[in-house]
Amino acid sequence: MVTETRPPGPVDRAEERARAARMRRARRRERRPVFLFMGPWFFGLFALTAGPILASLYFSFTDYNLLGSPSWSGLDNYAGLLDDVHYRNSLRVTFIYVVVSVPLATAAALLVAVMLSGNRRGIGVYRSTYYLPSLLGGSVAIAVLWRQIFGAEGLVNQVLAATGLDRVIALVFDVEPGTSWIGNPKYALNTLIILNIWQFGAPMVIFLAGIKQIPQDLLESAAVDGAGRVQRFFRVTMPLLSPLIFFNLVLGMISAFKAFTPAFVVSGGRGGPADSTLFYTLHLYATAFRFRDMGAASAMAWIMLVIIAVFTAGMFLTARYWVYYGDQVKLR
């Protein structure tokens, strides 16, 4: 354990050993208060985090209505989910939400980050302004605002009507003027996707930092070689940012799988109309507390864990084909 700088002679061996023992004792003495101070954290971890997690694993194999005590039911909860039309709806809605909103939100963050990466006057104001939505976005207030904006008499429809665009949309997309975007199951999920895309602030900041790290000489030499802005972006900036793109996609995906608040507020907690905004977590919450079926809800939570793990692993597998780290040399 102790690294020796010179081979100890037979004389001072005993002394060395005594000294080492003293050190160990001292270290142990120091360690005691460390554990004491860490105790509350460990208590929190086991009692408030690990405990409930393990309890939910147990509940997922029981029939538990929260009022009585849980009774063992084996795999019934998992099997029951297969019959549940709303469970299938919630899976579909969540997958669409993740697959559509995460790439779009990441792309929006990257685009805005590139636009804001220069050193123009007042750039700080712009950056703050674009970051603002992600501070507000997860909040109940914004979700309530979303109801107002996308309602039948909301801001969107008023603007469309005032500009006459509603008739153009009616012709091109077959959408009746005055449609309630949140009241119609065809469009309700789209409003939530837009809400998620709008909150690109956090990935944008990460991209901004990444863009600053890109060596200017690479961009300059590419420019000397005759690469235009677009080529420089796709040939230099994008590959060098790919680890950050990957990072943001993974984080965005996980948080999109777990999205709850916007759908809860916009749909009044029901995931309607006709299940069109029934996020997985929303259905889980309703199953646990509204339908008092904690067993099935726990089973859903564990399936969600597996789904997120599989998707994340899948992304890591694809990463080696498109993510370049600085120390890798790519030969063609």
Backbone angles phi, psi at 149, to 5 degrees: -70, -40
Name the segment binding other proteins (CB under 8 A); options: 155-163, 179-187, 246-254, 304-312: 179-187
**Residue type at position 312:** T
- Asked if residue 112 lies in contact with residue 200, where contact means CB atoms within 8 angstroms, the answer is yes
Outline where DSSP puts E strands in the chain.
Answer: 62-63, 71-72
Measure the N-to-C terminal CA separation of the chain; round to a whole number of Å. Answer: 47
Residue 67 touching other proteins (CB under 8 A): yes
x/- string (CB under 8 A) for other proteins, residues 45-64? Answer: --xx--x-------------
- Residue 68 CB, shortest distance to other proteins, in Å, is 4
- Its sign, for the CA torsion 276, 281, 284, 288, is negative
Among 3, 6, 27, 37, binds other proteins (CB under 8 A): 37
Among 44, 74, 177, 314, binds other proteins (CB under 8 A): 44
- Residue 185 CB, shortest distance to other proteins, in Å, is 6
DSSP string, 177-235: TT--TTTSTTTHHHHHHHHHHH--HHHHHHHHHHHHHS-HHHHHHHHHTT--HHHHIII
* Omega of the bond leading into 273 within 30 degrees of 0 (cis): yes
Distances (CA, A) of 136 to 35, 116, 127, 258: 39, 21, 15, 18
- Residue 47 CB, shortest distance to other proteins, in Å, is 5
Residue 40 touching other proteins (CB under 8 A): yes
CB closer to other proteins, 24 vs 88: 88
Among 111, 156, 180, 235, binds other proteins (CB under 8 A): 180
Query: Site for other proteins (CB under 8 A): how many residues?
Result: 38
Q: Which spans of this chain sit near other proteins (rule: CB under 8 A)?
A: 37, 40-41, 43-44, 47-48, 51, 65-69, 80, 83, 85-86, 151-152, 179-180, 182-185, 268-270, 272-275, 286, 289-292, 294
